[in-house]
Each structure stands twice: as C-alpha cells, then as structure tokens.
C-alpha cells in the first residue's frame, strides 16, 4: 500500500488572515521535528506603543500581553470585515482594534469581548456578502 498524504490543516482566524495577506503560515511538524514558525510576524495595524498609550500602560512588563491582545483583536476585526488589516487601514478599523484591546485588557476574566462594542466602526467598512 502507498503512503497517503496527511489531511490539510484546519485554519484558524489568524491563519486565514495570514493567507489573505500572502504571508506564510506555520508548517506542521514532521515526525521527529519541532514546530516551524515564521520568524517575521505580520505587521500590525496598531503598534505596541499606540496600544500602550491608549491603555495608559507605561512599563514593559505587560508588552507580551498587549501584543497578544492586539493580534487577537486584529484577527477578529479582519474576519468580521473580510479584509486584512495593515498600518494603512482606515482609522475606524484601527480604533475598533484599540477598543477590543482595551476591553480585553480591562476585563481579562470576562471572556471574549463582543464585536457589538465596535460594530458602529465596522458596519460601513464590511464587504457585501451574497
């Protein structure tokens, strides 16, 4: 019997956004190998400094968490509007990311923030779907 190819990986929100942007996705490890991740992350629409200023966070101790929240918020906004975000994204999209970051930062135990928080900024920029 021949060896069959492994099934395609299940893609999450971040993987879909990376594919749309043309960025390489992480490759699953082969037997006996470690996980291979892209060394250069996608550029964020919001910088760490912008998010920290918005949150009024001065020290570097929260940098990892804030960066994670930026990435998660960007992925949610990108999927909601079916567009890849970049530093050149319109201000309403960038503000939506900042608001989701702030809500997630301030309410860490409350679970995932609702997109209803930013719907007024997203609605005019959504792509029509059939």
Residue 117, in any domain of the structure: yes
Quote the tokens at residue 27: 């490759």
DSSP H helical ranges for the chain: 13-21, 48-55, 63-81, 91-106, 119-122
Residue 23: inside a domain: no
Instruction: Give the model's pLDDT for residue 111.
Output: 77
Looking at the domain assignment, is residue 59 inside a domain?
A: yes
Residue 36 pairs with which residues in a beta bridge?
A: 27
CATH number of the domain where residue 124 is located: 1.10.3230
Please determine, for residue 27, whether its predicted confidence score (pLDDT) is greater than 70: no
Q: Please state, in angstroms and rounded to a whole number, the distance separating the CA atoms of residues 77 and 85.
A: 8
Domains in the chain: how many in total?
Answer: 1
Q: pTM, whole model, 2 decimals?
A: 0.65
91 pLDDT higher than 50: yes
Domain membership flag for residue 3: no
Range of the domain at 83: 44-130
* Residue 130 is assigned to a structural domain of this protein: yes
- Conformational region of residue 99, where left means phi above 0, alpha means psi within -120 to 50, and beta covers everything else: alpha
**Is 70 domain-assigned?**
yes
């Amino acid at each position: 019997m021949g060896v069959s190819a492994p099934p395609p990986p299940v893609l999450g929100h971040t993987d879909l956004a990376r594919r749309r942007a043309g960025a390489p996705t992480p490759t699953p490890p082969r037997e006996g190998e470690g996980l291979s991740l892209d060394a250069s992350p996608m550029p964020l629409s919001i910088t760490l400094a912008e998010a920290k200023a918005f949150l009024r966070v001065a020290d570097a101790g929260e940098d990892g968490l804030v960066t994670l929240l930026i990435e998660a918020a960007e992925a949610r906004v990108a999927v909601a509007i079916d567009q890849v975000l970049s530093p050149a994204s319109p201000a309403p999209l960038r503000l939506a990311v900042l608001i989701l970051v702030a809500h997630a930062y301030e309410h860490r135990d409350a679970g995932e923030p609702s997109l209803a928080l930013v719907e007024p900024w997203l609605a005019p920029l959504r792509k029509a779907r059939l």
